[in-house]
Amino acid sequence: MRAVNGSAPRRPWELSSELRPLAANMLARLAGETTDREILQELLAQFVSLLGAEFVGVVQNHAGQWAVLGASGTWRTLPAELLSDVLDAEAGRSKGRWSASPLETRTPRAEVLLAQAPAGQSISESLLDAAAQLTRVALQLSRERQSQRRRVERLEAILEIASQWNRTQEMDRLLNEMAEAATRLLRAERASIFLWDRANHTLVGRPALGVDGGELRIPDDKGVVGHVLATGQSRRVNEQDDQTAINRHVDERLGFRTRSLVCVPLRGRGGELFGAFELINCIGGDFTDEDEAALEELAAHAAVALENTQQIEHLIRARNRLADEAALGIQLIGQCPAIEALRLKIRRIADTDLAVLLTGENGTGKEVVSQSIHYLSRRRNEPFIAVNCAALPETLLESELFGHEQGAFTDAREMRQGKFELAAGGTLFLDEIADMSLSGQAKMLRVLEEKIVVRVGGSRPIHTDARVVAATNQVLADMVRNKRFREDLYYRLNVVTLELPPLRERGEDVLLLAEHFLQQFSAKARRKPPKLTADARKRLLSHSWPGNVRELRNLMERIVYLSPEDKIDADELAFILAPRSDDSAYFAKDLPLAQATHDFQCEYIRRQITRCRGNMTEAAEKLDLHRSNLYRKMRQLGMDIGDPQ
């Protein structure tokens, strides 16, 4: 190795006694919060006196241009030829009053320690080499420390960003949040997340500014993103690099110019590659190794958040699909004025939180109406829980509705949620509410008013926002008067009352329902739906339907499975409907005609009054009598007018 002016090669440096205190001070400073520029300035100021120089500085070469990174003293023109020779030789050189020793020659920004001696003097080459080595170590340690600090800060920022991502359940919003966070954290102009559509060999990039819908679709084998997917490795392209891999067709489409980019793969929990994360145009320079490493960290969290959001969206779509299918299966069949009015009321109250009381005879479709209310409301994707209060014994009522803790009673082997908890956010249908005991009614009232349940054997209050829809076939007002139903609970449930008409009052709806049930059961039985003859239709319309819609449904089900004919005549309906134990009782008795006529009239009047739920005016209209004439007839027959039922 020779010097520029022909002097002998420099010897390997040794830390001289003059540099040892300086090195010790540098190490102490590195333990603090001092930046690399501050340490550099302190070292250079010490080197001026130590080397007896007029100027000592660290100069940096970037893309062929020399710039001063730090200096002590004054200078006019840098010796570019000397500096280039030092880089080529990777060793110290001197020329005239200038001496230089390399700090780093293999990085994109090569660095050299440069010193200028006073006129007529020279710089100690060995001392300059030692100073260069000390400067190199100081800068390396300082930069590593700052890199670690920046990495910690970035990781903290990434963790905070990731925690926000994991709270986002909408894919479009999540992708926008990811792009915004990445550009902010890593100083880039734009960012896109590309998801791999394997089936169509396409990359779907979002967000994509300047593209309709904010979505960019490109082939999965083009550009840097395609290379990342093909290799599974990150890739970085800066301005001075070969940029042939950049897909300029995308730039033309977006009206944008890509100067630099960094792209990293997105991998799922199982390591499967499903996309890429790309940053474009670093602000204020080039993308660095640190930027690439930070984007890889960010992409790892992004992949988890994307997978979670995809799973959540899949579950939401599945839940919505099930809710839609369930809603389609809940149909309020009928065109009579009473049903049309009922539909209108249901639409008005469905999306409110009002308590609803459904009244009507058995089999009129109270549960169907309650489900219609549920599926027309914003609660449609939440649970619909039905409870038959008449089937709950007093001992199990509280446990069934409010739940119990493990060990609360003999058979409580594990904790169990009650129906109010299970219906949280949804609808709780309480059928046959009138059959609930008075003590159960008191507990029910407290829950409805406070929206709080406490499990049996527990003490922790549990909030419930389940909407309550109650139903009964009894006259609650009469039960309140007779002290068999709590008045306060009656008014709490009776915010909105919907009365379901009996089937015998719905006219042609009987035929609509019959056709509906025939279609439904025939599809299950895999047979062609049988047709009703004119006589059969007339027979259906003339029947009183004491079992209401439930009776008609069961009749149609029996016909579908038991009748082999394609047409159903009135005889088959008569055969199925004929057994009536209560009607045949009159013929089983050996009574005089007058007595049998008396008993029939009494029983017939009682039935009409019962069907009209005690409304004497309505019952009189059905019997084609004036109300006063109905009372007169009941007195003649010896019936109890005070309690006609």
487 and 363 housed in the same domain: yes
Query: Is residue 238 pLDDT above 80, yes or no?
Result: yes
Residues in CB range of 30: below 8 A, 6 or more apart: 39, 138, 141, 142, 145
At 67-107, the pLDDT tens digits run 888 888 887 788 989 998 888 888 899 998 999 999 886 76
At 198-223, the pLDDT tens digits run 888 888 887 765 556 667 888 888 88
- What is the predicted pLDDT for the residue at 324? 67
- What is the predicted pLDDT for the residue at 5? 46
193 and 121 housed in the same domain: no
Q: How far is CA 266 from CA 162, 210, 238, 258, 270, in A?
A: 15, 24, 21, 22, 11
At 35-48, the pLDDT tens digits run 767 778 888 888 88
Residue at a domain's end among 113, 148, 183: 148
Residue 25 — very low, low, confident or very high, per pLDDT cuts 50/70/90?
Answer: low
321 located within any domain = no
- The strand ranges marked E within 317-366 are 356-359
297 and 438 housed in the same domain: no
Range of 507's domain? 503-578
Query: Is residue 511 pLDDT above 90, yes or no?
Result: yes
CATH of the domain at 588: 1.10.10
2 located within any domain = no
161 located within any domain = no
Q: Percent of the chain having pLDDT more than 90?
A: 22
306 and 257 housed in the same domain: yes
366 and 440 housed in the same domain: yes
- The strand ranges marked E within 322-398 are 356-359, 384-388
Distance in angstroms (rounded) separating the CA atoms of residues 215 and 202 = 12
9 located within any domain = no
523 located within any domain = yes
- The DSSP bridge pattern shows strands 427-431 and 467-472 to be parallel
CATH of the domain at 405: 3.40.50.300
DSSP 249-290: HHHHHHT-----EEEEEEE-TTS-EEEEEEEEEETTS---HH
- What is the predicted pLDDT for the residue at 607? 78
Residues in CB range of 138: below 8 A, 6 or more apart: 26, 30, 36, 39, 40, 43
Which is higher by pLDDT, 50 or 530?
A: 530
- What is the predicted pLDDT for the residue at 590? 59
- Residue 105 · residue 91 · CB < 8 Å: no
Q: Point out the least confidently predicted range of 258-267, 288-297, 389-398, 434-443.
A: 389-398
320 located within any domain = no
378 and 493 housed in the same domain: yes
Mean pLDDT of the chain: 82
482 and 569 housed in the same domain: no
Distance in angstroms (rounded) separating the CA atoms of residues 36 and 451 = 63
The average pLDDT across 371-399 equals 86
- What is the predicted pLDDT for the residue at 588? 44
Residues in CB range of 265: below 8 A, 6 or more apart: 228, 229, 232, 233, 234, 273, 275, 276, 277, 299
Q: Point out the least confidently predicted range of 106-115, 161-170, 436-445.
A: 161-170
Residue at a domain's end among 114, 148, 182: 148
CATH of the domain at 515: 1.10.8.60
Residue the block writes with tokens 């809940």? 330
The enclosing H or E element of 466 equals none
559 located within any domain = yes
351 and 460 housed in the same domain: yes
281 and 385 housed in the same domain: no
CATH of the domain at 74: 3.30.450.40
Residue at a domain's end among 472, 499, 526: 499
223 located within any domain = yes
Q: Cis omega (within 30 of 0) on the bond before 207?
A: yes
- What is the predicted pLDDT for the residue at 528? 93
User: Is 122 strand, coil or helix?
Assistant: coil
Cα of first residue to Cα of last residue in the chain, in angstroms, is: 124
Residue 642 — very low, low, confident or very high, per pLDDT cuts 50/70/90?
Answer: low
Query: Is residue 601 pLDDT above 50, yes or no?
Result: yes
3-state secondary structure string across 21-57: HHHHHHHHHHCCCCCHHHHHHHHHHHHHHHHCCCEEE
115 and 256 housed in the same domain: no
- What is the predicted pLDDT for the residue at 431? 92
Residue 249 — very low, low, confident or very high, per pLDDT cuts 50/70/90?
Answer: confident
492 and 510 housed in the same domain: no
Residue 231 C-alpha from the chain's centroid: 33
- Listed ranges 407-416, 566-575, 624-633; the one with the highest mean pLDDT: 624-633
Residue 263 — very low, low, confident or very high, per pLDDT cuts 50/70/90?
Answer: very high
Residue 643 — very low, low, confident or very high, per pLDDT cuts 50/70/90?
Answer: very low
Which is higher by pLDDT, 22 or 627?
A: 627
431 and 377 housed in the same domain: yes
For the chain, the domain total comes to 5
